[in-house]
């Protein structure tokens, strides 16, 4: 119901009015959602400590406060709208700015299936719509939570002919792996997030540095790519005014885990992803939407 309300409000009033209403929603969330408020403020403060040039309006010695958290929530609300538009509208190529057009062109021209590692930064759904409608790519998405699956079910009502398939998984069993392998062999793409600790806990994660502090990143995307023997790309897409910026990065033509150095290789892949994610957040801090204690309770 909430998604339908947001979508219809935007249709009736346009994005400027929608942004004003989202500001009020952001205030409400900042007042009532303590866990999300603290997670947002922790991230923004650590970002400001690493990249103070982006926070020139803050008085010396003071980090981002509640007002910045409200803006963070407001940006998330706008991203939710863009997710809905990515499903229901056919985006035009003019809506996008490609940071490296050559990499995008090589990726689109590659007939092989691709594993694309995304994140909770920006708005990959909008970019999926671009790939699906403009370039006729079939997208398969692995999600680990019911909220994502519910979102997809709601949006599918608006776009029943979508070339997007979503798999809600707790574990990758043999039948699912065979299905994914078959899809990749047909040239389809597989999306997975690289910045969320799996439901199984921290056993399948490694410690990396993110914004100057130790955090856990999952190893699942790299183990999956190893099993599927497919090329791997990173993709970030986020709104900047009226444009959506798209950053596609070549990550690995094949994942390799040498015998005797498997854990070190996994940590190296996760570190490369973490560095790419931090570089993206450095440009647009309000576009990272992991509203939970990403660093846990650690202060290291």
* Lookup: tokens for 205: 């994660």
Question: What average pLDDT does range 176-196 have in this prediction?
Answer: 91
pLDDT at 134 over 60: no
Q: Give the pLDDT score at 228.
A: 94
Of 55, 191, 169, 187, nearest to 123 (Cα)? Answer: 191
Residue of higher predicted confidence among 201 and 64: 64
Residue 297 lies in a domain: no
CA gap 76, 153 in Å, rounded: 20
Residue 275 lies in a domain: yes
Helix 66-88 and helix 146-156, axial crossing angle in degrees, nearest 10: 50
Residue 151 lies in a domain: yes
Residue 270 lies in a domain: yes
Provide the domain count of the chain: 1
Residue 295 lies in a domain: no
Of 111, 107, 113, nearest to 181 (Cα)? Answer: 113
Residue of higher predicted confidence among 138 and 299: 138
Question: What average pLDDT does range 187-214 have in this prediction?
Answer: 85
pLDDT tens profile 79-90: 888 777 766 666
State how far the alpha carbon of 215 is from the alpha carbons of 2, 202, 209, 218, 261, in Å: 33, 11, 6, 10, 21
- H helix runs in the chain, sequence order: 2-32, 34-50, 66-88, 101-109, 124-129, 135, 146-156, 174-185, 220-228, 262-283
Q: Cβ–Cβ contacts within 10 Å for residue 123, how many?
A: 26
Among 94-98, 155-159, 266-270, where is mean pLDDT lowest? Answer: 155-159
pLDDT at 195 over 50: yes
What range does the domain containing 149 cover?
2-287
pLDDT tens profile 247-264: 999 999 999 999 999 999
Of 117, 131, 121, 118, nearest to 87 (Cα)? Answer: 131
Helices (runs of H) and strands (runs of E) counted in the chain: 10, 9
pTM listed for this prediction: 0.88
Residue 296 lies in a domain: no
Residue 299 lies in a domain: no
Highest mean pLDDT among 106-110, 199-203, 277-281: 277-281
pLDDT band at 299 (very low <50, low <70, confident <90, very high): very low
Handedness of CA 125, 15, 133, 278 (dihedral sign): negative
pLDDT tens profile 21-30: 889 989 999 9
Q: Give the pLDDT score at 285.
A: 95
CATH code of the domain in which 104 resides: 3.40.1130
Helix or strand or coil: residue 4? helix
Contacts 24+ apart (CB under 8 A), 252-256: 252/225, 254/225, 254/229, 254/230, 255/222, 255/225, 255/226, 256/226
Return the residue matching tokens 């509640």. Answer: 66
Residue 265 lies in a domain: yes
pLDDT at 300 over 50: no
Distance of CA 244 to the CA centre of its chain: 14
Share of the chain above pLDDT 70, in %: 81
Q: Give the pLDDT score at 115.
A: 95
Residue of higher predicted confidence among 211 and 200: 211
Q: Give the pLDDT score at 88.
A: 66
CA gap 290, 218 in Å, rounded: 14
Contact between 25 and 77 (Cβ < 8 Å): yes
Residue of higher predicted confidence among 299 and 64: 64
Helix or strand or coil: residue 164? strand
């Amino acid at each position: 119901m909430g998604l339908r309300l947001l979508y219809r409000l935007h249709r009736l009033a346009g994005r400027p009015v929608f942004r004003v209403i989202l500001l009020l929603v952001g205030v409400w969330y900042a007042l009532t959602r303590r866990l999300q408020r603290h997670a947002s403020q922790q991230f923004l403060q650590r970002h400001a400590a690493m990249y103070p040039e982006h926070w020139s309006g803050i008085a010396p010695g003071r980090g981002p406060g509640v007002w910045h958290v409200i803006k963070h929530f407001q940006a998330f609300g706008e991203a939710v709208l863009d997710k809905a538009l990515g499903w229901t509208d056919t985006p035009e190529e003019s809506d996008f700015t490609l940071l490296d057009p050559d990499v995008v062109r090589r990726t689109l021209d590659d007939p092989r299936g691709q594993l694309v590692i995304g994140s909770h930064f920006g708005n990959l759904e909008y970019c999926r719509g671009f790939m699906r409608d403009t370039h006729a790519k079939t997208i398969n998405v692995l999600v680990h939570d019911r909220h994502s699956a519910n979102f997809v079910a709601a949006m599918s009502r608006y776009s029943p002919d979508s070339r997007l398939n979503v798999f809600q998984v707790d574990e990758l069993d043999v039948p699912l792996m065979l299905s994914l392998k078959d899809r990749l062999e047909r040239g389809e793409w597989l999306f997975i997030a690289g910045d969320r600790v799996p439901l199984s806990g921290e056993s399948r994660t490694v410690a990396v540095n993110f914004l100057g502090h130790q955090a856990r990143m999952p190893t699942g995307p790299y183990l999956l790519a190893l099993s599927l023997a497919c090329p791997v790309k990173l993709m970030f897409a986020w709104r900047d005014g009226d444009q959506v910026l798209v950053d596609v990065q070549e990550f690995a033509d094949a994942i390799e885990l040498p015998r005797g150095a498997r854990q070190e290789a996994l940590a190296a892949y996760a570190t490369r992803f973490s560095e790419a994610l931090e570089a993206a957040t450095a440009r647009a801090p309000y576009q990272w939407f992991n509203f939970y204690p990403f660093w846990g309770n650690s202060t290291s």
